[in-house]
Structure 1
Amino acid sequence: MSAVSVDLAESPLGWLSRRPGPDGRPWIDAAQLAAAERLRLDFTKGGLTPRITQTWEATGSRMRRTGVRGGLGDLGDMAMEARARMNAALEAVGPELSGVLVDVCCFLKGLEAVERERRWPPRSSKVILALALDRLAAHYGITRVAAGPETARPRHWGTADYRPKIT
């Protein structure tokens, strides 16, 4: 299986991660971008991207086996797990904010298009998207700074009486 990737130069998220806001920092930080890419990856692995070409497989073979072509019986385990992860993430974000995540992160819609479709005021989608990405990053456990113990004792894989040789 090949790696799934998106050219961030063409993505609205990539544009927002490079574009400075009024305070000089990017509109979307690294944690928000990582959370968005994780959601998009599950969307893609879950087979949720719309097909834009004709399916050339035999028409009768899969229908006899599963009953309904294109149904859940046709999905592999990896796709079903990706869909479950995506559904859990969107449920954690909440119904108010999950739609904008799907539009921008998964379908790669531009912010102006989202504002037009949802009849939002101009330039409001950046703020709403940032709030949604904050919740998504919290769900995934992605933080802006690494958190851990101040100090940790040294660890090694040897037995209790092991002493390294110094040469």
Structure 2
Amino acid sequence: MARERKLARLEVTVDGVIAEVEVDLDESPLGWLARRRGRDGRAFIAPVQLLAGERLRADFTRAQMSPRLTADWSATARRGRGSSPGMIFSEAALAARERVARAIEAAGPEFSGLLLDVCCFLKGLEEVERERGWPARTGKIVLALGLDRLARHYGLGVAAQGPSRSQLRAWSAPPEGGGAR
């Protein structure tokens, strides 16, 4: 029996291009955390944190880094769907691996393992806390900090922000007397 999927549409800005993506909120522990509210009424993780985690997972999937139970022979004869134009399947996977490596490096050793476990291997926070011997609800705090660092690496923010300093393109001041002639 097929389950009904809970899809959410999120707006993502990557390299200045705005795109709308669908995320299956039941598939990822991040989706569960994004839907749950704390005592203060706020979600456990912010939308920007959800986007950062889902972006890491998308690259992880494209990089074919997930453990396989069987051999995959499909990559030898075809191009990958969603790969960049002009890239063969293995080049797209290699590029995704490099993006994952840069993201994990930016997250640092304190957060990288947790981000991989939750975002990529889809482990629940209780499982991660139990495996690491952490007190209950510690994982949520550490995950939020790691997702913040990951969002900063991806250039995602809660508010849009321009460059800290931009070039002056033109200067015009009204002529003396206050009005245009």
TM norm structure 1? 0.72
Q: Does 1:148 align with 2:162?
A: yes
Q: Does 1:15 align with 2:29?
A: no
Q: Does 1:30 align with 2:30?
A: no
RMSD of equivalent CA atoms: 2.0
Within the candidate set 51, 65, 71, 1:55 is matched to: 71
Q: Which amino acid aligns with 2:157?
A: T
Q: Which amino acid aligns with 1:45?
A: R
Post-superposition Cα deviations, 1:17-55, rounded to whole Å, max 9, x if no partner, equal 010112211011111001001100110000001112x32
Q: Please name the residue that 1:157 is paired with.
A: none
Q: Does 1:129 align with 2:143?
A: yes
State the shift of 1:12 in Å.
0.9
State the shift of 1:96 in Å.
1.0
From the two aligned structures, give the one with the greater helix fraction: 1
Extract structure 1 runs of 4+ deviating beyond 6 A.
Answer: none
Which structure would you say has the larger RCO, counting Cα contacts within 8 Å and 6 or more residues apart?
1
Instruction: Give the Cα separation in 2 of the matches to 1:86 and 1:14.
Output: 20
Instruction: Give the Cα separation in 2 of the matches to 1:136 and 1:100.
Output: 12
Instruction: Give the Cα separation in 2 of the matches to 1:7 and 1:34.
Output: 12
**Ranges in structure 1 where 5+ consecutive residues have no aligned partner:** 63-74, 150-167
**Ranges in structure 2 where 5+ consecutive residues have no aligned partner:** 1-20, 77-88, 164-181
Aligned residue pairs total: 129
